[in-house]
Amino acid sequence: MASRDRIGFVGVGLMGHGMAKNILAKGFELQVLGHRNREPVENLKRLGAKEVSSARELAETCDIVVLCVTGSPQVEAIVTGADGLASAARPMLICDCSTSDPSSTIRLAEQMASMGITFVDAPLSRTPADAEAGTLDVMAGGTPEAFERVRPVLDCFAQKVVHTGPVGSGHTMKLLNNFISLGYAAIYAEALTLGAKAGLSPEVFDKVIRGGRMDCLFYQTFFRWVLDRDPEAHKFALENGLKDLSYLSAFANATGVANPLGAAARNAFALAVGTGHGKDYVPMLSDIIANANGVRLTGKQDA
Domains of the chain (ranges, CATH numbers): 2-166 (3.40.50.720), 172-302 (1.10.1040.10)
Residue 1, pLDDT > 70, answer no
Residue 126 CA to its chain's centroid (Å): 8
What was the pLDDT predicted at 2?
Answer: 43
DSSP 4: G
Instruction: Report which residue type is found at 189.
Output: A
Any idea which of 59-63, 216-220, 226-230, 297-301 has the lowest mean pLDDT? 297-301
**Concatenated DSSP letters of 161-215:** EEEEESTTHHHHHHHHHHHHHHHHHHHHHHHHHHHHHTT--HHHHHHHHTTSTT-
What was the pLDDT predicted at 298?
Answer: 75
Residue 50: active-site member: no
pLDDT confidence of 4, banded at 50, 70, 90? Answer: confident
Distance CA 134, CA 72 (A): 25
Distance CA 88, CA 52 (A): 14
pLDDT confidence of 37, banded at 50, 70, 90? Answer: confident
Q: What is the pLDDT of residues 18-35, one digit of tens each?
A: 999 999 999 999 999 987
Task: Indicate the pTM of the whole model.
Answer: 0.90
What was the pLDDT predicted at 188?
Answer: 98
Q: Active site residue: 50, 160, 174, 235, which one? A: 174
What was the pLDDT predicted at 303?
Answer: 31
Residue 299, pLDDT > 70, answer no
Distance CA 93, CA 66 (A): 9
Tell me what the mean pLDDT of segment 113-117 comes to: 94
What was the pLDDT predicted at 34?
Answer: 85
Residue 301, pLDDT > 50, answer no
Residue 113, pLDDT > 80, answer yes
3-state helix, strand, coil in the chain (%, to 5): 55, 15, 30
